[in-house]
Structure 1
Amino acid sequence: MKEPIISIRRVNFRYPEQTQYALKEITLDVMKGEWLAIVGHNGSGKSTLAKMLNGLHYPEDGQVTICSYPLKEECVWDIRKRLGMVFQNPDNQFVGTTVQDDVAFGLENNGVPYDVMEERVKNSLQRVGMADFLNQEPHHLSGGQKQRVAIAGIIALQPDIILLDEATSMLDPRGREEVLSTVRQLKEEQDLTVISITHDLEEASRADRIIVLNEGTVYSQGTPQEIFQMNEELIKLGLDVPFPIKLSETLRLQGFKIMSNHLTEEELVKEVWTYNFKK
């Protein structure tokens, strides 16, 4: 059984001058090598938790341990070397005039030797399918391409964990698919731990496990199949279930033989064909 790479125990946090806690008695583990999606409506606490994992907030009480380091000011830079964060708006992440300059920026700040840096830049861009864009100006890229470059900048630093903070919310469907497929491939190739902070349950369906936050607490957790069985509860929490799940239920009500709610359209089409049309 894999060990936790992040451990959170009875954590409380509230913003200055606020009486309500943004996080209340949060206890959870992130296992090494898994893809964990943390979902919730606006105000559920997921963005606060994302900032805490990156050392932008500290618990009022409780304990957070990341890669064996306790979340304290004296350890925060060690933690940030091991946890890379991809933000919501790709346009806000670029600092270099070209793609390769941008990917190299973090390496330069960490004092990586030039020959090592050059190799890491090329390798990381190749891994995200952007090797042909080395000298391209970032503002000429599509949204999905920009986020893939942002991911390249993170993996060049060789972290153990990648945190996606609503990283696909501003992308069109094609760009979203590009980014999520890239993350899945990197996870499998490098045994990375991926944490996806999102309100989009279609994105969350790609994960190995989902944690649902509500009003700063852990409301539920389980595999995507287990979580999506909470159809009505999720809607009451302000979350919209993925389209294939909705369609599975609608077809079942119309008399089609649908044995389970499917996470992908491909799985649903296969079952509809197998049990309803195939002779």
Structure 2
Amino acid sequence: MCQAIIEVRDVTFKYQEDSPKALSNVSLHVNKGEWLAIVGHNGSGKSTLARILNGLYLPNEGQVDVCGYKLSEETIWEIRKNVGMVFQNPDNQFVGSTVRDDVAFGLENIAIPREEMEKRIDWATRKVKMDSYLDQEPHHLSGGQKQRVAIAGVLAVQPRIIILDEATSMLDPQGRTEVMETVRELKKQNSLTVISITHDLEEAAKADRIIVMNGGKKFIEGTPTEVFQLDDKLVEIGLDLPFPFQLSKKLKAAGIPLKENHLTEEGLVNELWTLQLRT
């Protein structure tokens, strides 16, 4: 049986007393060591949920347990030690004049001794392949490099959970691939739990499990294969189906005998290659 590292029970949240509910009676769990994608269109509640999981907001109703702590004003800092967050725009996270200073910032906040701090900076930047940029100014880096530095800053604190809040949406395709592969490798090596908040279903298709949000409520959850069986219903709530999935459907409609609608380019290419070898 999987062990839940996060439990959300009947959470409701409003930004102001007279505003609509951003979240309404949301319940979910996150298993230790899994990659969970939370997807939805703008205004679906996914980013609000992410900020509650990190203690940036407290729910108006309901309960959130993170790493054994019940979320409250008294436990916020303990929870933030366990949950690192990488935001959409890495420039908004930079506070140091160099990559080294920036990665050190979070460690200084939790009073890590200097000798240990230096070890963690070296370890974290090597993990994301940015150790040769330690004395560079962050604004001279590419988008993908900036996001990897932001990830290094989170890793150095050694959280048990990383939340990627639209962390690849401002990157070009190459930068997006670099960042996601970096996180995937770190997850394998360090038993991290990863939560990616995204509107990109192609990115979400590579997660272990997907939760779809709509109108502040949980619309559906399941494996990528289970979720994409909804097909046009996902389009109806403002989501774009992954390109490999759409192409698979069109190829099958054109008479090419594919066994399934593929969620990734790799899967589609492999089956097309197999069909080619058979002919």
- Which bin holds the TM-score, normalised by the shorter protein? over 0.9
Given that residues 256 and 276 in structure 1 are in contact (C-alpha distance below 8 angstroms), is that contact kept between their aligned partners in structure 2? no
- The sequence identity of aligned pairs, in percent, is 61
**Structure 1 residue ranges (4+ consecutive) displaced by more than 6 angstroms after TM superposition:** none
1:261 equivalent in alignment to 2:266? no
Letter in structure 1 aligned against 2:69: Y
Corresponding position of 2:236: 236
Corresponding position of 1:159: 159
1:54 equivalent in alignment to 2:33? no
Corresponding position of 1:184: 184
Structure-2 separation of matches of 1:173 and 1:244: 15
Corresponding position of 2:121: 121
Corresponding position of 2:25: 25
Structure-2 separation of matches of 1:123 and 1:145: 16
Corresponding position of 1:224: 224
Given the two structures, how large is their TM-score scaled by the length of structure 2?
A: 0.98
Letter in structure 2 aligned against 1:69: Y
Q: Please state whether the residue corresponding to 1:187 is helix, strand or coil.
A: helix
Corresponding position of 1:105: 105
Q: Cα distance, 1:19 vs. partner?
A: 4.5
Letter in structure 2 aligned against 1:220: I
Given the two structures, how large is their TM-score scaled by the length of structure 1?
A: 0.98
Letter in structure 2 aligned against 1:101: D
Q: Cα distance, 1:173 vs. partner?
A: 0.3
Structure-2 separation of matches of 1:90 and 1:19: 30
**Structure 1 residues 208-246: Cα deviation after superposition (integer angstroms, max 9, x where no partner):** 000001111111001111111211011001000111101
Name stretches of at least 5 consecutive residues in structure 1 with no aligned partner: none
Letter in structure 2 aligned against 1:247: L
Q: Please state whether the residue corresponding to 1:102 is helix, strand or coil.
A: helix
Structure-2 separation of matches of 1:18 and 1:88: 28
Letter in structure 1 aligned against 2:36: L
Corresponding position of 1:144: 144
**Change in 2 beyond 3 A, CA 1:102/1:219:** same
Letter in structure 2 aligned against 1:238: G
Corresponding position of 1:71: 71
Corresponding position of 1:131: 131
Name stretches of at least 5 consecutive residues in structure 2 with no aligned partner: none
Letter in structure 2 aligned against 1:230: L
Corresponding position of 1:275: 275
Letter in structure 2 aligned against 1:150: A
Given that residues 257 and 276 in structure 1 are in contact (C-alpha distance below 8 angstroms), is that contact kept between their aligned partners in structure 2? no
